[in-house]
Amino acid sequence: MATEARRDVVVLEARAERAEGGWGPAVRAASLAGVVVAWELGARLGGIPAVFLPPPTAVAVELLGMATGGELWRSLQASLVRIVLGFLLGTGVGVVVGTVAAVSPLAEAVVDPLIAATYPIPKIALLPLLVLWLGIGEASKVAVIAIGAFFPVAVGTMAGIRGTDPQLVRAAVSLGASPFQVVTKVRLPAALPVMFAGFRLAAGMSLLLVVSAEMIAAATGIGFTILHAGDLMQTSKLLAAIVVLSALGVLSTWGLQALERKVVRGRPH
């Protein structure tokens, strides 16, 4: 038999490529809507008792009632004041302590072991102590949030400042920058992206701690509303308050992202 030269033919054909991110908005919206619809159907037709899981429409009606009756705004205001004060206090002190510890070896030697020892403590465990010191009022709740916000910001600021490209520091010094200017004009701007990671963690921590603190020692706020509604088996109200928390979390993330885009310049986002 004549040996026939075997020929391999490989054809690489064009294939329609899915546009990048092609499954974007439609699936995202459907995912959320699907769960809500399934929940509604389950609650209305599936025989799940409303006291365990009221349908989303009932939660929405409840939320509307809380908004028009003013209860929503009262709890929201109480929680927001605590969050904002605690967050600003904690991040402010965190930035200062982180900066000083990053630029001064002495401060680093003082601060580092303290942070390492206290960082792992679940901050809510400090609330009884803070109540003892500061009373049951607003101060103890603001303080526990501030402590929670402090750590990720201090650690992020330290890491960011230490991670500054040494060439940038050299360039600044060679152009005549003072040690103080090196910090304000080079190290801090260079650290901003890492600092913002700390801010985002601090925001999440603030939300977590405000709810916990309000459940333990408060007569107002979203956390209190949730606990109180649970005690009275007002499940719709409980869920309405959780929806509010979810909205707060999403809004704080968006807010910080918008701020970051405004403040962190010169890098592709």
User: Is residue 105 at the binding interface for another protein, with CB under 8 A as the rule?
Assistant: no
**Near another protein by CB under 8 A, which window of 25-33, 119-127, 230-238, 260-268?**
260-268
Residue whose CB is less far from another protein, 125 or 175: 175
Nearest approach, Cβ of residue 258 and another protein (Å): 17
Q: How many CB atoms lie within 10 A of CB 127?
A: 19
- What gap in Å lies between CA 237 and CA 62, rounded to an integer? 6
What is the residue type of 203?
Answer: A
User: Is residue 185 at the binding interface for another protein, with CB under 8 A as the rule?
Assistant: yes
Out of 68, 178, 246, 253, point to the residue binding another protein (CB under 8 A).
Answer: 178
Quick note: the x/- pattern for another protein over 187-206, rule CB under 8 A, is --xx-x--------------
Q: Are 178 and 228 in contact (CB under 8 A)?
A: no
Written as six digits, the tokens of 164 are 């500054």
Quick note: the x/- pattern for another protein over 108-147, rule CB under 8 A, is ----------------------------------------
Residues in contact with another protein by the rule CB under 8 A: 165, 167-168, 170-178, 181, 185-186, 189-190, 192, 264-268
